Structure formats: structure tokens, C-alpha cells
Amino acid sequence: MTTVAKTTPNSQRRSYPSVQSLRAWFAASPSAFVGGTLIILLLIIAFSAPLFAPYTPEEMDFAAALTGPSPTHWLGTDNFGRDVLTRVVFGYRISMAVALGSVGVGLIVGVTLGLLAGYFGGIIDNLIMRPMDVLMAFPAIVLVVALTGFVGRNLSIMILAIGIVYVPIFARVMRGATLEIVGQLYVEGARARGASPLRLMLIHVLPNAIAPVLIQASALMGIAILLESGLSFIGLGTQPPDPSLGLMLSEGRQFMTDAPWMVIVPGVAISIAVLGFNLLGNGLQDTLNPSRKGQ
């Protein structure tokens, strides 16, 4: 007699995102929803900039220089008669490229290093993490300034430089999360079934340890936008005539009294993007971090 009862799963399946699940997600974390929506909108604007912008960013109209908002130039023009709205839209392109690029570099390198350090521990941990500590001890700005100063001033160097600053941050977060997951019973179980270290790291540890890293990534994207603006402001980042938000701020400074829109518009634009990333980060913290659930 076999007394094993046949049963079927008693609860619903997880399905692909639907309107309902979006609504549930919004209810779970309004701030992630608002932040996420904001970022997606900005990304769409940035990457289809030519479709949105009424002019091209370098198009000068000296006759209309330094005019305020008007039906032809919604957000006014700068001292060369360039359309500010157009330049902000294209400026977002650079901001987003820097945010995604630098965090992408930091994430890929940092997560790999953190995963290896946390999983293997011991000597490998020390070999990876001690240099990270040294890197972390450098002030970010100094590091970026030094790098751009050495190698040259262009967008990819800046992305790389900020990315390198981010590597130790991601490595640390990932290492901590990995240490926690490696101790889980299911990781040992998979090891007992013969899983290789690579499989254990990629299938069992990474997906379960990545949540805090993603939260960190969102916040660091906002900071990357600020860094890019700051570097461009002091002349070390994007070079004219490229439309960077920081550069626009710096150029507008001289005309602040006559044409305040030249600083207000890029300033507000930076704030909106940073706000979006921070909202998303906070929201992710609420939804992804199990220890904060239900608080």
C-alpha cells in the first residue's frame, strides 16, 4: 500500500507582468513606481532626442540670442542663440550615457570581483578586497580628475573614470551579499549534487545576492549624473560645443542676471534625473530587501 497522496499546487502561479501586477507593484512601492516611470521617460527622451528636439543642438541664431521663453524657443536661447530645450534634451543623452555607462562598468567589474571574493574567501578575498580598500580610500573626484587629466577629456574616458570609482563600492556590497547567500542551505545542497563553483556562483548565489547591488546601482546612477555635471562645470568633462547639462550651467553662469533660464533649466533638469534615480533606489530598497518588508 502506498499512502502517498497525489496533490496539486494550491496557489496561483507567477505570471508575466500584467496591468494587475503593475498595479500591485505600484501599491507596494509608489516611490519605485514614480522613480522608475520618470527614468524611463527621460531615457526615451534622451535616446530619441532628434525626434523631440525642435532644433539641432549646435544650430545658432544670433538674432535670437539670449531671448527668454517664447513660442519659437519654449525655454529660451543661450548667448549663441542656441535653443535651450534642444540642448537640455541632448544633454540628457550625455547624462544618461554617463549614468548607464559608468554604473555598467562598475557593476560588471565590481559584481564579478565581489562574487569571487565572497565565494572563495581566504587568500582570494584578500587579493581582491585589499586593493579595493585602497581604491576606495581615494576621493572620487580626485581619481576622476587625475584620470581625465592623464588620459584625455572625452566622454568614454569620463565614463570609464567614474566606473572605476564605482568598482570598489559594488565589489563591497556584492561581497557582503555573497557571504550571506553562500551560507544558505540550498547552496550547500547544490554543492552536494556536484555543482561546480561557476554554477554555484551564477545560478545560486548571484540571483539571490543581487538585490542590494541593484539598489546601490540606482543611487550611483544619480551620483554619476552629478559627477558628470560637476566635471563639465569645472571644464574637465564634456567639452564645448557638446551639450552637457553641467557645461550649460557653467556657460550660463556669466549670463545669470540677464538670462536666468540658462542656469535654471539645466539645473532643474539635473535635479529631476537625480530625483528619479533616488526614488527608484529607495523604492527598490523597500521591495527587494526582505528585511524591510512589512515595515
Partner 1 sequence: MSLLSVRNLTTEFRVGGQWLAAVSNVSFDLQPGEILGLVGESGCGKSTTAYSLMELLPSNARVANGEVWLRDTQLLGMGESRWRDIRGTQLAMIFQDPMTALDPVFTVGDQVMETLREHLGLSHKDARARTLALFRQVGIPAPEQRFNAYPHQFSGGMSQRIALAIAISCHPHVLIADEPTTALDVTIQAQILRLIRRLLVEGQGTGVLLITHDLGVVAQVCDRVAVMYAGEIVEIGDVQSIFSDPRHPYTQALLNSLPSRQVEPGQLANIQGYVPGLASRPSGCRFNPRCAHAKPICSKQPPPRIQLSPEREVACVLYNE
Partner 2 sequence: MSSTTNNDLLLQATGLKKYFPLETDFLSNFRSDKAYVRAVDDVSLTVRKGQTLAVVGESGSGKSTLGRLILRLIEPTSGQARFKGRDVFGMNRSELRRFRRQAQVIQQDPYASLNPRMRVGSIIQEPLNIYNEGTRAERRRRVHELLEQVGLTASYVDAYPSELSGGQRQRIGIAAALALSPELIVADEPTSALDVSVQAQTLNLLSQLQKDYGLTYIFITHDLGVVQHFSDRVAVMYLGKIVEEAPTETLFEAPQHPYTQLLFSAIPATDPSQRMDWNIPEGEPPSPVNPPTGCHFNPRCPHVMAVCKEQRPHLQHTAPHHQVSCYLYDEA
The residue ranges that bind partner 1 (CB under 8 A) are 1, 3, 5, 7, 10
Q: Which of residues 32-51 bind partner 2 (CB under 8 A)?
A: none
Residue 295 interface partner, choices partner 2, partner 1, none, CB cut-off 5-8 Å depending on type:
none
For residues 276, 156, 232 and 140, what is the CA-based torsion angle, rounded to 10 degrees? 80
3-state secondary structure (DSSP) of residue 77: strand
**Interaction between residue 196 and partner 2 (CB under 8 A):** yes
- Candidates 22, 40, 44, 203; binder of partner 2 (CB under 8 A) is 203
* C-alpha dist (Å) from residue 172 to 116, 129, 164: 11, 8, 14
- Candidates 59, 65, 141, 191; binder of partner 2 (CB under 8 A) is 191
List the grid coordinates of 287.
521591495
Pick 7 or 15: Cβ nearer partner 1: 7
**Choices 2-10, 90-98, 238-246, 256-264; region in contact with partner 2 by CB under 8 A:** 2-10
Name, in order, each residue with C-beta under 8 angstroms of 53's C-beta and a sequence gap of 6 or more: 83, 85, 86, 89, 90
List the grid coordinates of 123.
587568500
**Interaction between residue 16 and partner 2 (CB under 8 A):** no
Q: Contact at 8 Å (CB) between 107 and 217? A: yes
d(Cα 25, Cα 86) in Å, to the nearest integer?
34
**Interaction between residue 22 and partner 2 (CB under 8 A):** no
Pick 50 or 189: Cβ nearer partner 2: 189
Residue 204 interface partner, choices partner 1, partner 2, none, CB cut-off 5-8 Å depending on type:
partner 2
- Candidates 59, 199, 214, 282; binder of partner 2 (CB under 8 A) is 199
d(Cα 87, Cα 84) in Å, to the nearest integer?
5
Peptide bond into 241 cis (omega under 30): yes
Site size with partner 2, rule: CB under 8 A: 30
Q: Contact at 8 Å (CB) between 256 and 263? A: yes
Terminal alpha carbon distance of the chain:
49
Least distance to partner 1, CB of residue 29, Å: 18
DSSP 62: G
Least distance to partner 2, CB of residue 36, Å: 21
**Interaction between residue 291 and partner 2 (CB under 8 A):** no
**Interaction between residue 197 and partner 2 (CB under 8 A):** no
**Interaction between residue 18 and partner 2 (CB under 8 A):** no
Q: Which of residues 151-190 bind partner 2 (CB under 8 A)?
A: 184-186, 188-190
Strand partners, 83: 77
Least distance to partner 1, CB of residue 20, Å: 13
**Where on the chain is the footprint of partner 2 (CB under 8 A)?**
2-14, 184-186, 188-196, 199, 203-204, 207-208
